[in-house]
Amino acid sequence: MIMEENKNGTQEQPEQKKKKKSDVILTIALVVAIAVFCYAAYNLYHIYTEYRKGTNEYNSIEEMAVTERDPDSTEVAGPDAQPKPPIDVDFEKLKSINDDVIGWIYVDALPDISYPIVQGKDNQTYLHQTYEKNYNFAGTIFVDYENGRDFNDCNTLVYGHNMKNGSMFGHLKKFTEDEKLYNNDRYFWILTPDKNYRYEIISAYTTGVNSDTYTLFKGPGEEFEEYLKKIKSYSDIKTEDTELTIKDKIVTLSTCTGNESTRFVVQGKRVNAEDDGSGENAGSANSDAASVDSVTVQEG
């Protein structure tokens, strides 16, 4: 049998040498595995911390600025009475923190979707910046910077992240996962400093990031009329046969899907404005213009 000498001058068998090499390899593998585990644990902790910070911040804002109405006060008393939102929002308090605020969204079937809405100078500012302007992946619910601030455009685009813990617009997809949600309550609200708008959901579907869903219109016309027909046909759920006209105001709620090339959207038609007829805001330049030209934009 061939023997080999080690550094101490003693001889060792090849099997012993192989065992030492194997031990070294196992040790290295163990160290690498521990390092990978620690890195993964750190990332999970970081993600959890981010989620918790974002959730805590928005809970605090809601506690400060939002008051639930007595359910009896929101009931419709007569045939001509207009429904009232289930919450009141103190916009003066909200503006004291961030004057980019332009509204508050509340989804009747998904009351966890209750957040301030802002509009920045571009579509990047609030992607990962909270309402209090802290960095957080949750960001803030925001309106496309090319829209008017008053929700009077033909199509107003509202963006929010699809967070894994269900926060922000993370629960929007439930409208296609469980159609009972839509059947039980197909409305959402956008409250503003001047008026409270109620929207009926007319469509919910997955679409491409560059699809015509994200078209902004300078004014009503044939192009907008065709758009209304398209979005109704796109829906992944059966919705009421609600009449759509070029006078309608659409809000498009958009969130990511986990696929970089697609988005999930819920679209609603404005059906009433609380205190309608008492001096509604003038429409934005986009919605009042006579031109029917359009520009296609995508989520930032």
Which phi and psi angles does 149 have, rounded to 5°?
-85, -5
- Alpha carbon 64 to its chain centroid, in Å, reads 22
pLDDT of residue 24: 73
Beta-strand ranges (E) seen in the chain are 4-5, 11-12, 66-68, 87-89, 101-107, 110-118, 141-143, 155-159, 187-191, 196-208, 215-217, 250-256, 262-273, 294-296
pLDDT of residue 80: 62
pLDDT of residue 165: 92
DSSP 109: T
> Residue 235 in contact with residue 202, Cβ under 8 Å?
yes
DSSP 256: E
DSSP 103: E
CA distance 6 to 10: 6
Tell me the C-alpha to C-alpha distance, in Å, between residue 4 and each of 20, 21, 24, 56, 77: 14, 15, 19, 67, 99
DSSP string, 148-216: -TTS-SSEEEEE--B-TTSTBTTTTTHHHH-HHHHHH--EEEEE-SS-EEEEEEEEEEEEETTSGGGEE
Q: Which residues are catalytically annotated?
A: 161, 256
For residue 266, give the nearest of 177, 176, 178, 194 by alpha carbon. Answer: 176
Q: Give CA angle at 184 (178, 187), nearest 5°.
A: 100
Task: Tell me which amino acid residue 144 is.
Answer: D
Dihedral over Cα of 235, 240, 245, 250: its sign: negative
- What is 48-296's CATH number? 2.40.260.10
For residue 89, give the nearest of 108, 115, 57 by alpha carbon. Answer: 115
Domain definitions of the chain by residue range: 48-296
pLDDT of residue 28: 78
> pLDDT in tens for each of the 300 residues of the chain?
445 555 555 555 666 666 666 777 777 777 777 777 776 665 665 566 777 888 999 999 999 999 999 876 656 555 667 889 999 999 999 999 999 999 999 999 999 999 999 999 999 999 999 999 999 999 999 999 999 999 999 999 999 999 999 999 999 999 999 989 999 999 999 999 999 999 999 999 999 999 999 999 989 999 999 999 999 999 999 998 889 999 999 999 999 998 999 999 999 999 998 753 333 433 333 333 333 333 333 333
